[in-house]
């Protein structure tokens, strides 16, 4: 084997080190990602990943749908399609959105994407120049932060309370950014059963947030993958239903059918949709016809609403198991949210406890979570974590929360020993230059 | 195929170094397979022991990193099953994996090692953290390096430049281990020296100098290709290279290590090779120094490990 040597005689482990774009400089190996490699092992109770429980899917129904598709429309399913997506699927997507109050959607304004994640990527690509501001809730969806970072956006968080994004905080942030001369392009929000906090933006605040953004000329990106997973059975009205021109709605079948299909979509005002289609062409040429048609056929031939109902009940049971276990085991000073749908609970730890520093101890105790810092672009969230109840069955959830509580107690004891002396965090004064880092975490 | 029989590479496990170990294991498996060795790779878990019983391999090469991989546990288990393996005995692994024991043993053999103190978290809790921290700083000075008493890949390791940073560094360390090794930080040329013994006694491989591009040799610098420059051989004069090689061979010998090891050293401004730690299961990823050193010595990773397996096989049957 021939190995290259640098002119200075060193042995390069990446000969292209000096060629990467600035936006890739933060894409480096991380200690926490290494810990998550352990968390994926079955020995660990993972309350970390947001993986839907696909074992609740009727696989025989999926198999027969796919078999019928290959038999009846195989030549279409295995051919290229358009960048906008299959028209029949787009029509069915409009029916799905009608369940959340969006009754005026036209298939022409729907762009099918590789999960809603690609819709977010395309939107950022067409709207955000380096240095532009994207507003998000604090905390927010971790992989959205990574997308914005990849386009060198400046992410600014707006605080939330139990009723969701705080309108006054949004106003103040916009005023401050305007004074700075910053260009605010998007408000990215997960208003319903938020990832990671499990919080839902109230109806009155939805109207207020839309009005603030309309006045400020900021496009609202409503990411709504969990909207149909309401534990009351009543879907929450989408923000897009009340502002067709000011909101791009992102949807997904990942949580209501199967993430492996990788079918999501954007519903956008017509001019925006046209740009997204052109951006999609350059990104992927065309979306998978096979998975699009499989989803379309599944929706057309299977009792999908019943399936969603079954998902809701399963996730509600798991949420209940986690809430009960938290109430029974958590030490004083810990608080948590009570989601009415979706996958996640946000656990705030007693003051001074660092969830990221505690993670290796938790992994050693065979339980995993995502530390809160992963959901902020600015280092906030140290004393918080996201807990997912979507994937493990209730008895595993109870077991995992018990283990977590024991770890937390040990961490509190450690903090009591050392925290009064910790005047400076050496990691915070690391003299090395800090490049924008791809988050240590990823999400499903 | 060779006459070695089936070689099983053990990797993965549940230590924080799982991903590194899997990368090492895959690389070694592929290399051995390329030269005709019948090789399997197994991620160690609850199904491992039944599999070893049902279909015992002719030889095991443990490439597990971290606790249970390098502390002698897996080798004790292999001994229980009567399976031969490449590498050191459980007792030697225990001595080497424990940084405090290794420093004391290697230091007693005349190799310099930075002044250090090793304390459990209970000591800080029971005796009071403030006086202990004050005393540590007064005794060892600054800067310091705080590291878990056992473990690798820089997990839980923090450089402490000011006294006020020590408490936070200890908390980070205790996330990985209940004992902290607090060591005087030494400035100098950081090198890794592999030691290989294929039957004729331990021999040092060319020293690999480690020069992280962005600062410390932390996890990101270790496992992001390109983030560290490696100079082979290290940019030291011949006498210093000989001193470093001798230190690594001494560490290998006095700790009773077998077949292979990698010693990490810092050559300080006065030209002393300061012993930091030794690894009984060195990493074999694309950014690991062990394969680089072999290559610099004109040796092939696969051939070396095939020969080590043959040596271990003879040892087992003899």
pLDDT tens, residue by residue, A159-171: 999 999 999 999 9
User: What pLDDT sits at residue A442?
Assistant: 54
Q: A148 to chain B, minimum CA–CA distance in Å?
A: 22
* Tokens encoding B137: 């700083």
Verify whether the Cβ–Cβ distance A28 to B227 is below 8 Å.
yes
* Tokens encoding B1: 């195929």
Contact residues on chain B for A41, CB-CB shorter than 8 A = 14, 18, 45
* Tokens encoding A431: 């003299």
Q: Which CATH number fits domain B95-112+187-298: 3.40.710.10, 3.20.20.60, 3.30.470.20, 1.10.800.10?
A: 3.30.470.20
CA dist., res. A402 & res. A47, Å (int): 12
CA dist., res. A229 & res. A252, Å (int): 12
User: What pLDDT sits at residue A433?
Assistant: 31
CA dist., res. B163 & res. B40, Å (int): 49
Domain B7-92+310-317 sits in CATH at 3.40.50.20
Q: Which residue of A has its CA nearest to B16?
A: A35
First to last CA, chain A: 39
User: What pLDDT sits at residue A441?
Assistant: 54
Q: Which residues lie across from B40 on neighbouring strands?
A: B8
Mean pLDDT of A105-109: 98
CA dist., res. B59 & res. B52, Å (int): 11
Query: Does residue B277 have an active-site annotation?
Result: yes
Q: Which residue of A has its CA nearest to B167?
A: A422
Verify whether the Cβ–Cβ distance A418 to B129 is below 8 Å.
yes
Domain B116-184, what architecture?
Answer: 2-Layer Sandwich (3.30)
User: What pLDDT sits at residue A190?
Assistant: 98
Pick the more confident residue, A439 or B240: B240
Q: Is A429 on the interface with B (CB under 8 A)?
A: yes
Helix (H, G, I), strand (E, B) or coil at A156: strand
Inform me whether the pLDDT recorded for A435 exceeds 90: no
Verify whether the Cβ–Cβ distance B168 to A431 is below 8 Å.
no
Verify whether the Cβ–Cβ distance B226 to A17 is below 8 Å.
yes
Helix (H, G, I), strand (E, B) or coil at B258: coil
Q: Which residue of B has its CA nearest to A20?
A: B226
Of the partner residues B16, B133, B156, the one whose CB lies closest to the CB of residue A421: B133
A&B contacts, CB < 8 Å: 146
| Residue A39 pLDDT grade (very low, low, confident, very high; cuts 50, 70, 90) | confident
Query: Does residue B264 have an active-site annotation?
Result: yes
Inform me whether the pLDDT recorded for B73 exceeds 50: yes
Pick the more confident residue, B253 or B172: B253
Q: Is A421 on the interface with B (CB under 8 A)?
A: yes
Inform me whether the pLDDT recorded for A96 exceeds 90: yes
User: What pLDDT sits at residue A422?
Assistant: 73
CA dist., res. A75 & res. A38, Å (int): 42
Verify whether the Cβ–Cβ distance A41 to B14 is below 8 Å.
yes
Of the partner residues A12, A357, A423, the one whose CB lies closest to the CB of residue B172: A357
Distance of CA A222 to CAs A207, A263, A346, Å? 13, 17, 20
User: Interface pTM (ipTM) of the complex?
Assistant: 0.83
Residue A199: which of A175, A174, A166 has the closest Cα?
Answer: A166
Average pLDDT, chain A: 91
List, for residues A54-67, the tens digit of each pLDDT value. Answer: 888 999 999 999 99
pTM for the predicted model, two decimal places: 0.89
First to last CA, chain B: 23
Our measurement of the distance from residue A183's CA atom to the centroid of its chain's CA atoms, rounded to an integer in Å, reads: 24
Verify whether the Cβ–Cβ distance B161 to A6 is below 8 Å.
no
Length reported for chain B: 318
List, for residues B89-142, the tens digit of each pLDDT value. Answer: 999 999 999 999 999 999 999 999 999 999 999 999 999 999 999 999 999 999
Contact residues on chain B for A423, CB-CB shorter than 8 A = 164-165, 167
Q: B27 to chain A, minimum CA–CA distance in Å?
A: 15
* Tokens encoding A398: 């109870």
Residue A81: which of A72, A89, A92 has the closest Cα?
Answer: A89
| Among B12, B13, B15, B17, the one annotated catalytic | B17
Query: Does residue B219 have an active-site annotation?
Result: no
Q: Most distant CA pair in chain A: distance in Å?
A: 71
Of the partner residues B20, B159, B168, the one whose CB lies closest to the CB of residue A422: B168
Of the partner residues B175, B223, B224, the one whose CB lies closest to the CB of residue A360: B175
What are φ and ψ of residue A35, in 5° steps? -65, -35
Inform me whether the pLDDT recorded for A434 exceeds 50: no
User: What pLDDT sits at residue A203?
Assistant: 97
Which residues fall within 8 angstroms of residue B314, CB to CB, at 6 or more apart?
Answer: none
Question: Which chain A residues in 350-389 lie under 8 Å from chain B, judged by CB atoms?
Answer: 354, 357-361, 363
Query: Does residue B19 have an active-site annotation?
Result: no
Q: Is A5 on the interface with B (CB under 8 A)?
A: no
Of the partner residues A359, A418, A430, the one whose CB lies closest to the CB of residue B124: A418
Measured N-to-C along each axis, helices A394-418 and A304-329 cross at an angle, to the nearest 10 degrees, of 40
Contact residues on chain A for B134, CB-CB shorter than 8 A = none
List, for residues A391-400, the tens digit of each pLDDT value. Answer: 999 999 999 9
Query: Does residue B85 have an active-site annotation?
Result: no
Of the partner residues B133, B154, B224, the one whose CB lies closest to the CB of residue A28: B224
| Among B13, B25, B69, B283, the one annotated catalytic | B283
Residue B192: which of B173, B176, B206, B171 has the closest Cα?
Answer: B206
Pick the more confident residue, A340 or B216: A340
| Residue A2 pLDDT grade (very low, low, confident, very high; cuts 50, 70, 90) | very low
Q: Residue ranges per domain, chain B?
A: 7-92+310-317, 95-112+187-298, 116-184
Mean pLDDT of A312-335: 97
Contact residues on chain A for B286, CB-CB shorter than 8 A = 13
Verify whether the Cβ–Cβ distance A14 to B156 is below 8 Å.
no
List, for residues B213-233, the tens digit of each pLDDT value. Answer: 777 777 777 777 778 889 999
CA dist., res. B265 & res. B278, Å (int): 9
Query: Does residue B68 have an active-site annotation?
Result: no
Q: B169 to chain A, minimum CA–CA distance in Å?
A: 7
User: What pLDDT sits at residue A326?
Assistant: 98
List, for residues A220-246, the tens digit of each pLDDT value. Answer: 999 999 999 999 988 999 999 999 999
Question: Which chain A residues in 184-243 lie under 8 Å from chain B, judged by CB atoms?
Answer: none
Contact residues on chain B for A11, CB-CB shorter than 8 A = 229-232, 292
């Amino acid at each position: 084997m021939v190995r290259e040597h640098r002119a200075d005689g060193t042995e390069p482990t990446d000969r292209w080190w000096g060629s990467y774009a600035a936006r890739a400089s933060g894409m480096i190996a991380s200690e926490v990602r290494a810990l998550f490699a352990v968390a994926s092992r079955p020995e660990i109770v993972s309350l970390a990943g947001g993986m839907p429980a696909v074992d609740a899917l009727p696989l025989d129904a999926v198999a027969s749908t796919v078999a019928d598709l290959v038999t009846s429309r195989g030549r279409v399913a295995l051919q290229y399609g358009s960048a906008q997506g299959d028209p029949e699927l787009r029509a069915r997507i409009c029916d799905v959105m009608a369940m959340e109050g969006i009754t005026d959607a036209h298939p022409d304004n729907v762009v099918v994407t590789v999960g809603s994640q690609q819709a977010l990527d395309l939107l950022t690509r067409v709207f955000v120049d380096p240095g532009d501001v994207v507003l998000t809730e604090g905390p927010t969806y971790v992989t959205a932060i990574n997308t914005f970072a990849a386009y060198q956006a400046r992410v600014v968080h707006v605080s939330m309370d139990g009723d969701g994004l705080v309108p006054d905080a949004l106003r103040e942030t916009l005023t401050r950014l305007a004074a700075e001369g910053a260009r605010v392009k998007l408000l990215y929000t997960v208003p319903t059963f938020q990832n990671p906090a499990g919080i839902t933006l109230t109806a009155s605040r939805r109207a207020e947030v839309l009005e603030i953004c309309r006045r400020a000329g900021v496009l609202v990106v409503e990411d709504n993958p969990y909207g149909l997973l309401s534990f009351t059975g009543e879907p929450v009205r989408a923000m897009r239903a009340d502002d067709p021109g000011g909101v791009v709605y992102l949807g997904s079948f990942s949580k209501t059918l199967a993430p492996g299909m990788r079918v999501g979509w954007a519903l956008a005002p017509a001019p925006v949709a046209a740009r997204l289609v052109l951006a999609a062409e350059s990104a992927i040429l065309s979306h998978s016809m096979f998975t699009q048609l499989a989803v379309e056929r599944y929706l057309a031939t299977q009792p999908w609403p019943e399936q969603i109902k079954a998902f809701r009940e399963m996730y509600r049971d798991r949420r209940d198991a986690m809430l009960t276990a938290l109430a029974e085991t958590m030490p004083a000073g810990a608080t948590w949210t009570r989601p009415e749908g979706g996958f996640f609970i946000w656990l705030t730890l007693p003051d001074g406890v660092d969830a990221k520093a505690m993670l290796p101890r938790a992994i050693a105790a065979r339980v995993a979570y995502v530390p809160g810092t992963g959901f902020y672009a600015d280092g906030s969230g140290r004393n918080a974590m996201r807990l997912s109840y979507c994937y493990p069955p209730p008895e595993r959830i109870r077991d995992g929360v018990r283990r977590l509580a024991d770890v937390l107690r040990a961490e509190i004891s450690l903090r009591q020993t050392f925290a009064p002396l910790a005047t400076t965090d050496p990691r915070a004064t690391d003299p090395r230059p800090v490049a924008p880092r791809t988050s240590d975490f990823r999400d499903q | 195929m060779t006459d070695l029989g089936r070689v099983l590479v053990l990797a993965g496990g549940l230590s924080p170094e799982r991903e590194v170990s899997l990368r090492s294991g895959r690389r070694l498996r592929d290399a051995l397979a390329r030269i005709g060795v019948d090789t399997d790779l197994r991620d160690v878990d609850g199904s491992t022991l039944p599999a070893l019983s049902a279909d015992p391999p002719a030889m095991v090469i443990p490439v597990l990193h971290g606790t249970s991989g390098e502390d002698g546990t897996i080798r004790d288990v292999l001994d229980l099953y009567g399976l031969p393996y490449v590498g050191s005995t459980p007792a030697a692994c225990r001595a080497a994996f424990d940084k405090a024991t290794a420093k004391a043993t290697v230091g007693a053999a005349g190799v310099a090692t930075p002044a250090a103190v090793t304390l459990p978290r209970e000591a800080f809790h029971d005796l009071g953290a403030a006086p202990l921290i004050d005393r540590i700083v007064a005794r060892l000075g600054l800067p310091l390096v705080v590291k878990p008493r056992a473990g690798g890949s820089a997990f839980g390791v923090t450089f402490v430049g000011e006294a006020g940073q020590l408490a936070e560094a200890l908390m980070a360390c205790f996330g990985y281990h209940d004992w902290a090794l607090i060591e005087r930080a030494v400035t100098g040329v950081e090198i890794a020296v592999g030691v290989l013994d294929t039957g004729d006694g331990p021999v040092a491989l060319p020293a690999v100098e480690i020069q992280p591009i962005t600062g410390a040799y932390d996890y990101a610098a270790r496992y992001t290709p390109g983030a560290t420059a490696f100079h082979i051989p290290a940019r030291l004069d011949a006498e210093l290279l000989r001193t470093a090689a001798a230190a690594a061979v001494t560490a290998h010998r006095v700790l009773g290590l077998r077949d292979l090891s990698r010693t990490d050293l810092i050559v300080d401004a006065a030209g002393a090779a300061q012993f930091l730690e030794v690894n009984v299961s060195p990493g074999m990823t694309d950014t690991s120094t062990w394969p680089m050193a072999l290559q610099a010595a004109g040796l092939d990773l696969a051939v070396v490990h095939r020969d080590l397996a043959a040596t271990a096989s003879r040892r087992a049957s003899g």
